[in-house]
Amino acid sequence: EILLTQSPGTLSLSPGERATLSCKASRSVMSDYLAWFQQKTGQAPRLLIYGASRRATGIPDRFTGSGSGTDFTLTISGVEAEDFATYYCQHYAGAPWSFGGGTKVEI
C-alpha cells in the first residue's frame, strides 16, 4: 500500500499569494498516477489535476501540478477567494488507492 504524506497541514495566505502544497509517497507512484482534489465544506471532492500534471476539464491555469516518483507538488499561482479549501492528493496506481491527509488553505 502506498502511503501519502501531505505538508503543510495548514497554509495561511492572503489572496494573490502563491500556494505550494507538497505530497510525498512512501514508494514510487507508477506512471505518475497521482491526482489532486479540492474539497470545500459540505461538498464532494473536485478533481483538479491527474497524471501528476494534467488539469481536469474546466480547471483554471493558476493550478499547476508537478513532480514524479515519490515527490509531487500542487501550486496555485495566485490564490483567489474561491480557492480557500482543503486539498488532497490521491494515487490511483493500483489497488488499494489512497488519499493524503490534506492541506487546508485558509485566509
Pick from 7, 13, 24, 51: which binds other proteins (CB under 8 A)? 51
* Cα–Cα distance for residue pair 36/44, rounded to 1 Å: 13
Segment holding 37, helix H or strand E? strand 34-39
As given in the structure block, the three cell numbers for residue 65 are 501540478
Number of residues that bind other proteins (CB under 8 A): 22
> Binding to other proteins by residue 46, rule CB under 8 A?
yes
Strand 4-7 and strand 54-55: pairing? unpaired
> Binding to other proteins by residue 50, rule CB under 8 A?
yes
Strand 10-12 and strand 71-76: pairing? unpaired
* Between 81 and 95, CB nearer to other proteins: 95
CA 60, distance to chain mean position in Å, is 14
Within 10-39, the residues that bind other proteins by CB under 8 A are 33, 35, 37
Pick from 2, 90, 103, 105: which binds other proteins (CB under 8 A)? 90
Sign of dihedral through CA atoms 25, 27, 28, 34?
negative
Cβ 14 to other proteins, closest distance in Å? Answer: 26
Chain positions contacting other proteins, by CB under 8 A: 33, 35, 37, 44-47, 50-51, 56-57, 88, 90, 92, 95-102
